Amino acid sequence: MELNRDAPYVVGVDLGGTNVRAAVTDRAGAIKGAGRATSLAHDGVAKTVGQILAAADEAMREAGIDKAQVAGLGIGVPGVIEPKEGVVVWAPNFYENGEQYRNTPFAGPLRERAGMPVFMGNDANVAALGEFRFGAGRDVCTLVMLTLGTGIGGGIILDGKLWTGATGGAGEIGHIIVAAGGRGWAAAFGSLESMGQISAITERAARKICEARQSRLAETVDYDWRLLTPKLIADAAAEGDPIALETFEETGYYIGLGIASMVNLLNPEMVVVGGGVAQAGDLILDPIRRSARANAIKSLIDSCPIVGAELGDDAGILGGVSLVLDALEG
C-alpha cells in the first residue's frame, strides 16, 4: 500500500493490554482528534484490529478528517516486534485462539482493514520515538529513554533513528543486568526491571514497614503493605517520610546503575525517564541522577542530562505518529 506523501494528517495508536488510544495529528504532531476503545486483548487479532480501527475512526470523526487525508497509521504494540514484516514475535498479554501471540501477523490485517499503510513497533521503543521527536528529546540526536512501570522498557535513538537491532528486538533496557544474583524471576535475576519495577519498589517499602520503622507511610496503609503503591510512597516521601525516602533512594541506585551502563556503552546526549513511576519527579530522579553520576565515566555523564519525559500518556500515540513521519521523510 502506497504511502500518501501529500496527505496532511497522520494517525498514531497506542495499544495497551486493556485499552487502545488513537489520535489524528498534523505533521507537526498537533492532536486534531482522539479516540479510545477497549483492546479485547483476549479475543483474537481480528477483534483487536477492529477495536484499533474503532478508536482511529473516532479520532478522525472528532477531527472531521477523512481517511483520504491521512498518510498512514503508526502503532506501538507491547511485545517483541519484528517491525519490517509487521509480525508480533511474542506478546504475553494478547491472545489468539487462547494462546499468547507468537509470530502473529498483525500489521498486515490492520493495513487491509484500515486501508492505509501501517507502521508498527514495540510500545516502549515507539514512546521513545515520541519523546525524541516531540518531547524531552526534541533538541538532541541521540538518546536513551526508559519507561518505569509494572515493567521497565525503553528505546534507543542513535543519530536520529530508532535502533531496533539485527532482528528488531533491541532496546530491552529492562533486561540489562545490574545486580548479579539480585531479585528476579520473570525478568533475569538482578536485571534493571527486576530491581526497579513497581513490585520491587513496593517490596522495598513493605520490608521497612515490617521492620516496624517509624513511618507515616506505614500508618497510611495501616501496616497492610499490600495496599502500597508508588503514588502513596511518593506522597509520603514528599512529606519527608524516612522509609519512603529510603525506598526511592535504593530504587534510584539500581536504576542509576542501568543508566550508567547505557551512558558508558552508548555515550548518548540525554537520558529520558518516563512511565508512571517517573511521575514522582525529582523524588525518584535525583537518586537516579546521583547513582548514574557516581557510577558512569565522568566525561560521558557530564555531557548527558537525565530528564523527565514530557509527553506523559501521549508519548505512545505521538511515537506512532513519528513512525509514519519517519517513513515520509525516509
Which grid cell is 72? 498512514
Using CB under 8 A, which of the segments 37-45, 54-62, 110-118, 159-167 binds its own copies?
159-167
Q: How many CA atoms does the CB half-sphere of 174 hold within 13 Å?
A: 25
Q: Is 104 in the site for its own copies (CB under 8 A)?
A: no
Sign of the Cα torsion 92, 97, 102, 107 reads negative
Nearer to its own copies, 9 or 248 (CB): 248
Q: Single out the residue of 16, 50, 163, 225 in contact with its own copies (rule: CB under 8 A).
A: 163
Cβ 194 to its own copies shortest distance, Å:
11
Mask 50-89, x = binds its own copies (CB under 8 A)? ------------------------------x--------x
Number of residues in contact with its own copies under rule CB under 8 A: 53
Q: Which of 187, 214, 292, 198 is nearest to 248 (CA)?
A: 198
Asked whether 23 and 11 are in contact (CB, 8 A), the reply is yes
Edge to edge, the sheet with strand 87-96 lists 80-82, 87-96, 99-105
Q: Is 271 in the site for its own copies (CB under 8 A)?
A: no
From CA 242, how far away is CA 236, in angstroms rounded?
8
Tell me which residues in 129-148 interact with its own copies (CB under 8 A).
140-142
From CA 65, how far away is CA 60, in angstroms rounded?
5
From CA 143, how far away is CA 288, in angstroms rounded?
16
Tell me which residues in 182-221 interact with its own copies (CB under 8 A).
182, 188-191, 195
From CA 208, how far away is CA 193, in angstroms rounded?
21
Using CB under 8 A, which of the segments 9-17, 107-115, 122-130, 258-266 binds its own copies?
258-266
Mask 26-45, x = binds its own copies (CB under 8 A)? --------------------
Cβ 92 to its own copies shortest distance, Å:
12
From CA 16, how far away is CA 151, in angstroms rounded?
13
**Contact residues for its own copies, defined by CB under 8 A:** 80, 89-90, 140-142, 156, 158, 163-173, 175-182, 188-191, 195, 253-254, 257-258, 260-262, 264-269, 294-297, 299-300, 303-304
